Homo-oligomer: A and B are copies of this chain.
Amino acid sequence: MEVTLNIKKILEDINKTKPLVHHITNYVTVNDCANVTLAIGGSPVMADAIDEASQMASIASSLVLNIGTLNADKINSMIKAGKKANSLDIPVVFDPVGCGATAFRNEMSELLIKNVNMSVIRGNLSEILALSGKSVVTKGVDSSDISIKNLNEYLKNIAEKFKTVIAVTGKVDRITDGEKIVEIYNGCKEMSNITGSGCMCSSLIGTFVGANKDNIFEATVAAILTMGIAGENAWDKYKYEGLGHFHMGIIDEISKITPETIELNGNWNEK
């Protein structure tokens, strides 16, 4: 089961199909999510009204569900859109923002997973662990330092249990479909000093898998490589300016990324 990444083909498919990425997401980072979707060559649409959730999902290439600012209305829209996407074989990406912080987020995440088959679930480690039912102490939407024995095996098991690709982003990113597992060492710690680097990563995954439906695992790895490399390059360029320019710089770098950049700078390993 060796992993091979045809980055060139994956990016070409985005440019060729310009996937429509339907987001039901939070209002904190939504502008960045739309902008990275455009920057990499997709077309974002943000629509959460229950009256159109299903129809919008049906014309989309992928659906991104992000619970950053969840409420009862949005959950219903997410389930409706998710079921429609499932019925049409449209990939669904789930970002369980802040899972573990409140009972409401835990219960709603569980409800979503019960009702919608997710193609990819991306979160930080504490979110993914909380989602898996492991009790962890989280602090809001930020990841805490958690050490788990045999983490890779544990993540493979979650992926298998939920029949999905699991992507944990952090100092090391880990992506697994339950069989294969890839570790990525790109990115920089400053990315967690701006809001939205996780959400943006999920939107990139939505765009990549929307254009590469038969290749969900590899597309997810490519999306996370893109985010990490863009973050590194932006920090290199704007560290003396500060976090405002760094934030804009990440979107800059995503808009300029090429297969060659990713192949040259991608630092990953199959485990």
* Number of identical monomers bound together in the oligomeric complex: 3
* A268 and B43 alpha carbons, distance in the complex (Å): 29
Which residues from 192 to 246 on chain A have a C-beta closer than 8 Å to any C-beta of chain B? 193-196, 241-245
A68 touching B46, Cβ below 8 Å:
yes
Cβ-based interface call for A151 (8 A): no
Residues on B with C-beta less than 8 A from A30 are 27-28
A51 within 8 A of B: yes
B241 touching A98 by the CB < 8 A rule? no
Q: Is the interface of A mostly helix, strand, loop or mixed?
A: mixed
Residue A132 is within 8 A (CB to CB) of chain B in the complex: no
Once the chains bind, are B101 and A56 in contact (CB under 8 Å)? yes
The chain B residue sitting closest to A54, CB to CB, is: B102
Interfacial residues of chain A within 29-53, with CB under 8 A of chain B in the complex: 29-32, 34-35, 38-39, 43-52
Q: Are A70 and B56 in contact (CB under 8 A)?
A: no
Contact B247 A242 (CB under 8 A): no
Selected contact of A34 from candidates B28, B35, B250, B251, CB within 8 Å: B28
Output the nearest chain B residue to A46 by Cβ-Cβ distance: B28
Interface extent on A, as a size class?
35 or more
A244 CA to B241 CA, complexed, in Å:
15
A40 and B254 CA atoms in complex are apart in Å by 26
Decide: B141 and A102 in contact? CB cutoff 8 A.
Answer: no
Supply 11 further A-B pairs (C-beta < 8 A) apart from A43-B141, A55-B103, A244-B247. A18-B139, A20-B142, A27-B27, A31-B31, A43-B140, A46-B68, A49-B72, A51-B104, A52-B102, A242-B253, A244-B250
Q: Sample 15 A-B pairs with CB under 8 A, ordered by A number.
A: A22-B140, A35-B243, A38-B194, A45-B101, A47-B69, A47-B98, A49-B70, A51-B71, A55-B102, A56-B140, A59-B140, A60-B140, A241-B252, A243-B252, A245-B249
